[in-house]
A and B are shown apart, each in its own frame.
Chain A
Amino acid sequence: EADIYQTPRYLVIGTGKKITLECSQTMGHDKMYWYQQDPGMELHLIHYSYGVNSTEKGDLSSESTVSRIRTEHFPLTLESARPSHTSQYLCASSALEGSVMNTEAFFGQGTRLTVV
């Protein structure tokens, strides 16, 4: 079944550790996104990609980095985690628009990160 997967679902980690949040999709989508969601609900785009070897910064500045070596995989890395990075991280994907009717984004379940 075509889907988008995020691991881990929950992560508690100490300050200064390096972490990678995984995101994979089996829908063959070219576009992928990372959103950061505040405790107060609001979603902020932090990274996006049009396809392999394409990565762009989003609207909210983030100390994280991303890579897109394979179409289906869009991991997010924090080199040195800090308490201010505590948040929920949502990965999403959408199709390139051969047809504009396929323009909605599909989201993973999210990773809730807590840095202590």
Chain B
Amino acid sequence: AQSVAQPEDQVNVAEGNPLTVKCTYSVSGNPYLFWYVQYPNRGLQFLLKYITGDNLVKGSYGFEAEFNKSQTSFHLKKPSALVSDSALYFCAVRAAMDSSYKLIFGSGTRLLVRP
């Protein structure tokens, strides 16, 4: 069965400091991995994805994520946090061979960037 774990309910960081939001996954075969962001009373916005190729992927708003196959992780990072980055972040996974195409989401991590 596919699953995603986001071990931190909340991450607090000062503006200008680097941030990391953690994600680990379990899937049969190769994974497709995604990060989404959700602002209050809004839907999810796609940030970035790993499908194949370079383990470091870059996405919207200066975010990047590193795929680590041995640790089954896909942590979201940003070198310098902004107050406007404060939001809910969701990691999602799908098995490349899963014909249902369903995305399995983690429980979400609330990022709070203080001025």
Contact = CB atoms under 8 A, between A and B. Distances in A.
Interface of A: 6, 31, 33, 35, 41-43, 45, 48, 50, 56, 58-59, 90, 92, 94, 97, 100-101, 103-110, 112
- The bracket for how many chain B residues form the interface is 20 to 34
14 contacts: A35-B105, A41-B107, A42-B107, A43-B90, A48-B101, A100-B52, A103-B49, A103-B101, A105-B34, A105-B46, A107-B45, A108-B43, A109-B42, A110-B43
Interface string B38-55: 000111111001011000
A104 to B, nearest CB: 5
Contacts of B110: 41
B27 interface: no
Given A41-B88, A43-B90, A107 B43 contact: yes
B22 interface: no
Interface string B87-115: 01010001010001111110110100000
B45 A103 contact: no
Instruction: Give the 3 A-B residue pairs with the shortest CB-CB distance, closest first.
Output: A107-B43, A41-B108, A107-B44
Interface of B: 32, 34, 36, 41-46, 49, 51-52, 88, 90, 94, 96, 100-105, 107-108, 110
Contacts of B103: 33, 45, 92, 105
Contacts of B45: 107
Contacts of B101: 31, 48, 50, 94, 97, 103
A110 B34 contact: no
B92 to A, nearest CB: 8
Given A58-B102, A59-B102, 17 more contacts: A35-B105, A42-B108, A43-B108, A48-B100, A48-B102, A56-B100, A92-B103, A101-B51, A103-B32, A103-B49, A103-B101, A104-B34, A105-B34, A107-B36, A107-B43, A107-B46, A112-B41
A104 B37 CA distance: 13
